[in-house]
Structure 1
Amino acid sequence: MLDRSYLIICLFALVAMFGGGLIGLYVARALPEHHLTKESGAVVKLAAAIVASLTSLVLALMLSAANGAYSVNAGIVTKLGADIVQLDHLLRAYGPEASEARASLRAYAGHKSEELFPASPPPHVDARRSADLLDRLADSIMSLELADRRHTALANQALSLTNQIYAERWLLWENPGTTVPTPFLFVLIFWLFLVYLSFGVFAPPNLTVVASLFLSSLAVTGAIFLILQLGDPMHHSWLRISGEPLQRAMSEIARP
């Protein structure tokens, strides 16, 4: 499911860039002849090249940051699945006394999977309930009777893994959404508008030029769309993080 606000931003960017090029073509016909000399064109193209270079650098940095956010979140989900499987293995090794803790772990894993990767249409999932289930899991582990050194070591390792799952839960819950500040994004679109405006002023008004302006605007819009999607992989993103690690973990811990 796509966030409508992202589509609106991308449509605005496309209109700004392509519209800027068309405005430049129109303005060129209204300007006096001495404004369109080779000397004037050289200065305008130089100024546009500076803005275009700055815009290209910013787009590259934004794409790198968005890809980093995507990779970090994907890594947290994978680590969460691995920790759930490892915790279940420790509880299984502890013995029948840990059956209640294992049931709490299964309940938490199922609820967390629904919370992070809801079905379509997504049901209402209480995010607070996953925290309560995790608290219940920790209480079950701390309530285990430590009969000997082996059980003590297993319980300590299980509690340590539970603390890691707590940390991973909060890291995913605190995900603020897109890594791109909206005001900065609109400043970037304004820069692109100026660049395309300068392109249109000194371009001949023919179909080839218009098609080139549109296709290049579409390409840059695609890059902005990709940045928005990669920067927000947990909220209505077309490039959503895969829930397969959690699904595999749930299949593994379902074994008796």
Structure 2
Amino acid sequence: MAEVVSALIVFVLLLAGTGVGVLVRPMLPEEHKAHETVQLIQLVIGMLVTFAALVLGLMTASAKASFDTASNDFRAYAADLIQLNVRLRDYGPDTDRARTLLRAYTAAAIASTWPQEPLPPGNDYPKDISQGGNPEQLESVTLGDMLDMIEREIRGLSSHDAFNQRLADDSLAQFLALRQARWKLIEEAHSSISQPFFKTLTFWLFVIFLSFGLIAPRNALAMVTITLGALSIASAVYVIVDLDTPFTGPIVISSQPMRDALMHLNR
């Protein structure tokens, strides 16, 4: 909902700025409506529009890059799960307990990260993992405890020969890399937009639309054009905020890599 609220606030403020400009214009003395004054206002508007356009473009590119990074990291995380399962499977039947926990963890992670999507098949994993009321919070005590149990199982492996010892060491190294990747994903789930910076941009846009209200002709076509402009900017803000929160809103990271990993773990 953060993306909807942000876009709605920007849209309302831009229309309010235009309304203030339209209301103030008749109260201005005639010398403030002179051609030279209007030209000066247009120059200042042009400068602010350039700054705002640059900032919006940079924010869009940054949000898209963050979204793509988180998406690629999730694919790598799914690959790490598969590789860990392969090493445990090669070790032998002593790792059956660890592999069962790994499958349960993967299914539970899918269910908690994408609660709006169909649950993975099976009943051998917790389905009611709470995110503390924060959809951006990927960290879960339950999932962390499951990983701790997997780690204890791996560390408790008793090697029968040098080959199994190497597999046990490789499994532990792979697991530690998996845990590190998990914390990276948890941090990437949070929004990275600076609120003071976002408020400053909103103020610039408010001033721009206030200026539009001061110089725009008072007819329906001008008002409709300004409204469409405000709607377009609000939609851009919506996309930026949505991309910056990769696990909430309509634009979310695909769960397919994790579901593919779960299929491999079930083999």
TM over 0.5: yes
In terms of mean alpha carbon deviation, does 17-26 or 200-209 score higher? 17-26
Aligned structure 1 segments of 4 or more residues deviating by more than 4 angstroms:
120-124
Contact 1:48 1:195 in 2 (8 A): yes
Contact 1:111 1:130 in 2 (8 A): yes
Change (3 A) 1:120 1:94: closer
- CA distance in 1 between counterparts of 2:187 and 2:14 reads 34
After superposition, the C-alpha distances for 1:98-129 in whole angstroms (9 at most, x for unaligned) are 21121121121112222222246997415111
TM-score when normalising by structure 1:
0.91
Structure 1 residue 52: Cα displacement? 1.5
Q: Please, which of 104, 113, 122 is the counterpart of residue 110 of structure 2?
A: 113
- CA distance in 2 between counterparts of 1:12 and 1:27 reads 22
Q: Please, which of 249, 253, 257 is the counterpart of residue 237 of structure 1?
A: 249
After superposition, the C-alpha distances for 1:228-250 in whole angstroms (9 at most, x for unaligned) are 1111112x322111111111111
The yes-or-no answer on 1:210 pairing with 2:207 is no
Q: Please, which of 135, 143, 147 is the counterpart of residue 134 of structure 1?
A: 147
Partner of 1:167: 180
Q: Please, which of 239, 248, 251 is the counterpart of residue 226 of structure 1?
A: 239
Structure 1 residue 49: Cα displacement? 1.5
Unmatched segments (≥5 aa) in structure 1? none
- CA distance in 1 between counterparts of 2:225 and 2:21 reads 14
Question: RMSD in angstroms over aligned alpha carbons?
Answer: 1.9
Structure 1 residue 184: Cα displacement? 2.5
Contact 1:25 1:204 in 2 (8 A): no
Counterpart mapping for 1:149-168 below 5 A: 149-168=162-181
- What number of residue pairs does the alignment pair up? 251
Counterpart mapping for 1:59-208 below 5 A: 59-119=56-116, 124-126=128-130, 127-175=140-188, 177-208=190-221
- CA distance in 2 between counterparts of 1:193 and 1:99 reads 61
Unmatched segments (≥5 aa) in structure 2? 120-126, 131-139
After superposition, the C-alpha distances for 1:185-208 in whole angstroms (9 at most, x for unaligned) are 222111101101112212211111
Contact 2:71 2:254 in 1 (8 A): yes
Q: Percent identity?
A: 29
